[in-house]
């Protein structure tokens, strides 16, 4: 979302637009967990986003180690998990690795994988060696938005953008209502990869994952959205919901299913 979204169109005053927004929000009145209202119903997948800040002198060794070990977990039939994508941040925080995993079957699948990995001697050694290369690490457990594309493997070469939004507490349903309409404006070039919201870790976090051929293609696609009637209005309504936002441009590793 760009700063231009803060400017209302010339055809209506800013105040009128803001007043109108109070009446178009479709917050679900049912007393139910937000995750039940926003997540995909037909799947029970849980996602884990891992962000590792690597010592600059260790990044090549870190990548090599991950490319040796992570496919073994991804391809092992006894582990109910799959590597969705693995990247290095190109623009954004430097010397950073980002991994996205899917656990088929939700929390029980996550517990099963973690239990089996604790008994896996190779993985234990991998974690120890990897730990010596890191400055810091964090993770989040995520669910998919029901209206986003399923993140499936794709051929490359592509660059990926992970746009992360820290929302104001209590606004997740509003965000979902608006983006259920906004995503229609961003499908023409097949750039929408996946949309997620946090369940454990930093809360009220939203992550949108996009794929582009290159940075100029990204710019062209994003600019084209502003020529579609209705996009500017949806941007205008969602901007006040955001406390903080971050964009990472990422390059996939060779083992990443998302290329």
Model pLDDT for residues 178-230, shown as the tens digit of each residue: 999 999 999 889 999 999 999 999 999 999 999 999 999 999 999 999 999 99
What pLDDT sits at residue 168?
97
Look-up: residue for tokens 């990472």? 248
The answer for 92, left when phi > 0, alpha when psi is -120 to 50, beta otherwise, is: left
Spatial distance between the Cα atoms of 258 and 211, rounded to a whole number of angstroms: 9
What pLDDT sits at residue 38?
77
What pLDDT sits at residue 13?
41
Question: For residues 222, 28, 205 and 200, what is the CA-based torsion angle, rounded to 10 degrees?
Answer: -150
What pLDDT sits at residue 36?
57
Residue-averaged pLDDT of the chain: 87
What pLDDT sits at residue 34?
55
Q: What angle do CA 219, 220, 226 make, to 5 degrees?
A: 95
Spatial distance between the Cα atoms of 212 and 221, rounded to a whole number of angstroms: 9
Q: Helix axis angle, 172-182 relative to 231-238, nearest 10°?
A: 170
Q: What angle do CA 193, 194, 196 make, to 5 degrees?
A: 160
Residues 6+ positions from 33 with CB-CB distance below 8 Å: none
Q: CB neighbours (10 Å) of residue 249?
A: 17
CA nearest to 67, candidates 55, 59, 77: 59
What pTM, to 2 d.p., does this model score?
0.85
CA nearest to 160, candidates 205, 198, 197, 215: 215
What pLDDT sits at residue 41?
59
CA nearest to 130, candidates 87, 84, 66: 66
Q: CB neighbours (10 Å) of residue 1?
A: 19
Sites in the chain below the pLDDT cut of 70 = 1-37, 40-44
Q: Helix axis angle, 231-238 relative to 14-24, nearest 10°?
A: 80
Identify the architecture of domain 39-252 in CATH. Answer: 2-Layer Sandwich (3.30)
Question: Where is 44: in which H helix or E strand?
Answer: none
């Amino acid at each position: 979302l760009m700063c231009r979204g803060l400017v209302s169109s010339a055809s209506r005053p800013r105040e009128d637009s803001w007043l109108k927004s109070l009446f178009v929000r479709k917050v679900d009145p049912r007393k139910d967990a937000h995750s039940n209202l926003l997540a995909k119903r037909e799947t029970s997948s849980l996602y884990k986003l891992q962000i590792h800040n690597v010592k600059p002198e260790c990044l090549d060794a870190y990548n090599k180690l991950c490319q040796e070990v992570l496919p073994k977990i991804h391809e092992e039939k006894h582990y109910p998990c799959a590597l969705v994508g693995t990247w290095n941040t190109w623009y954004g925080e430097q010397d950073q690795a980002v991994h996205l995993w899917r656990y088929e079957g939700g929390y029980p699948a996550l517990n099963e994988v973690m239990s089996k990995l604790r008994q896996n001697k190779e993985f234990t050694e991998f974690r120890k060696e990897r730990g010596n290369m890191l400055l810091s690490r964090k993770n989040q457990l995520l669910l998919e938005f029901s209206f986003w594309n399923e993140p499936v493997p794709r051929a490359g070469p592509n660059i990926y953008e992970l746009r992360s939004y820290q929302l104001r507490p209590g606004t997740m349903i509003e965000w979902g209502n608006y983006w259920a309409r906004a995503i229609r404006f961003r499908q023409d070039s097949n750039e929408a990869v996946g949309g997620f919201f946090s369940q454990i870790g930093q809360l009220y976090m939203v992550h949108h994952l996009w794929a582009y051929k290159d940075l100029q293609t990204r710019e062209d696609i994003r600019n084209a959205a502003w020529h579609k009637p209705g996009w500017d209005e949806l941007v205008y309504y969602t901007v006040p919901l955001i406390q903080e936002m971050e964009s990472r441009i990422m390059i996939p590793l060779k083992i990443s299913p998302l290329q």
